Structure 1
Amino acid sequence: MTSDSGQKVLMAKIGAAHGIRGEVRVKPFGDDPLSFTDYGVLTSKDGARSFEVEKARVQKTVVITKFRSVNDRNQAEELNGVELFIDRDQLPDPDEDEYYYSDLNGLSVVDQDGNALGKIIAVQDFGAGDLLEIRPRRGRTFYIPFTKEFVPDVSVSSGRVTAHLPEDYFSEDSSDSSEAASPDK
């Protein structure tokens, strides 16, 4: 048993009701859309509510799910927005150079010279790949691509990530700003 015991990992989020028999649309988080069904009982973040999957099927970008003891549309509608969690220690250990996003949150980020840049507060994906959201000691959060080029060293055990950023990474000057388009005459 690791020290991760008690840490919750977000697996999916319940959306709108589907039909009249208590089914709901579930947005899964992870590579396999049905993976949230593999861990037995899921809980709300506070652990006050538990959910056991009776059956599930993939339909486009969601998983139509029937939970035990949710038998009609009214009960299903009450679940809209509920996030489904499992305990971190239920997950298998990741392979080398693979990480659970929840394990990255809170890690310190330093540059290649060892200077502190901040802490990881989230891993985001806006469609073009994973980004680490970093909160510096002062100022606004910023993002760095979560690639080997930008983040060559991740040590979850030591609580630290090393980032290799280009020299002008924080520059607000745009190289294109001097080439502003002029209106046609």
Structure 2
Amino acid sequence: MSALVCVARIGAAHGVRGAVKLWTFTEDPFAVRRYGPLLAKDGKRQFELATAREAKDHLVATFKGVTTRDEAERLNGIELYVARDKLPVTDEDEYYHTDLIGLAAVTTDGDALGRVLAIHNFGAGDIIEIAPPKGATMLLPFSNAVVPEVDLKGGRVVIALPQEIEGEDRGETLSPSRPRERGDP
């Protein structure tokens, strides 16, 4: 079986007849209906969608065999996966996170940085996490400027390390005993 890709997460129960909030991670929220049974992360439990309708920023869904609120509440937080080979082929410059995890990370000069550990999104864009052979992981913006090349066939991503983080430079030093307050020059 190919690698599993997380396509949704079950949320809180909705109503009294076994419905749940379903947060999808697919471009088309209803695509989860086309993948067949969805799997828990361990691959041992299967969930088959019975119904799904659009809500404000999620779906309201029911699963076959789940008919009560108590049963629905026990599903809260379960991530749902499908085999990578069931997903559509990506366009050029589009990647599934699972395709990037484990790739070698090298600088633009070809120096080894480590391996791609994860791709995160905390709401302001994708972040690539690089695990070096020693030391703390690096979190960098997953942008064309910082990651100018992704070579899936070659098994690597090229990282253009930022030289500095832009920000205001006032030449000031803050004392830990006097924190800067809003409105201070």
- What TM-score results when the alignment is normalised by the length of structure 2? 0.87
Look up the equivalent residue of 1:44 and give its one-letter code: A
Aligned length: 177
Q: AA paired with 2:130? A: I
Which of these residues, 9, 16, 38, is aligned with residue 5 of structure 2?
9
Partner of 1:179, secondary structure, is coil
Give the 3-state SS of the residue equivalent to 1:24 in structure 2: strand
What one-letter code is carried by the residue in structure 1 that aligns with 2:172? E
List gaps (5 residues or longer) in structure 2. Answer: 175-179
Structure-2 separation of matches of 1:177 and 1:36 = 51
Q: CA deviation at 1:124?
A: 1.0
- Structure 1 residues 21-69: Cα deviation after superposition (integer angstroms, max 9, x where no partner): 0001111113222222221110111121111111111212221111111
Would the alpha carbon gap of residues 76 and 155 (structure 1) be closer, same or farther in structure 2, given more than 3 Å must change? Answer: same
1:92-131 correspondence to structure 2 within 5 Å:
92-131=88-127
Alignment root-mean-square deviation, CA: 2.2
Q: 1:66 aligns with which of 45, 62, 65?
A: 62
Report how far residue 177 of structure 1 moved.
6.8
| C-alpha deviation, 1:175, in angstroms | 6.6
Question: Which of residues 154, 165, 179 is equivalent to 2:172?
Answer: 179
Whether 2:77 is the aligned partner of 1:81: answer: yes
- 1:137 maps to 2:133: yes
Helix, strand or coil: the match of 2:33?
A: helix
Moved >4 Å (runs of 4+): 180-184
Instruction: Provide TM-score, normalisation by structure 1.
Output: 0.87
The 5 Å alignment of 1:21-32 reads 21-32=17-28
Alpha-carbon distance between aligned partners in 2 of 1:156 and 1:131, rounded to the nearest angstrom: 18
Moved more, 175-184 or 99-108: 175-184
Q: Which residue of 2 aligns with 1:155?
A: 151
Q: Structure 1 residues 115 and 177 mapped into 2: Cα distance closer, same or farther (>3 Å)?
A: farther
Give the secondary-structure state (helix, strand or coil) at the position aligned to 1:37: helix
**Selected match of 2:86 from 86, 90, 108:** 90
**Equivalents in 2 of 1:55, 1:140: separation in Å?**
44
SS state at 2:2 partner: coil
Shifted more, 83-92 versus 24-33: the winner is 24-33
Measured in 2, the distance between the counterparts of 1:73 and 1:133 equals 38
Give the counterpart letter for 1:176 in structure 2: D
Alpha-carbon shift at residue 168 of structure 1 (Å): 4.0
Which ranges in structure 1 are unaligned for 5 or more consecutive residues?
none
Over the matched positions of the two proteins, sequence identity in percent amounts to 45
Secondary structure of residue in 2 paired with 1:89: helix
In 2, distance between residues paired with 1:83 and 1:166? 34
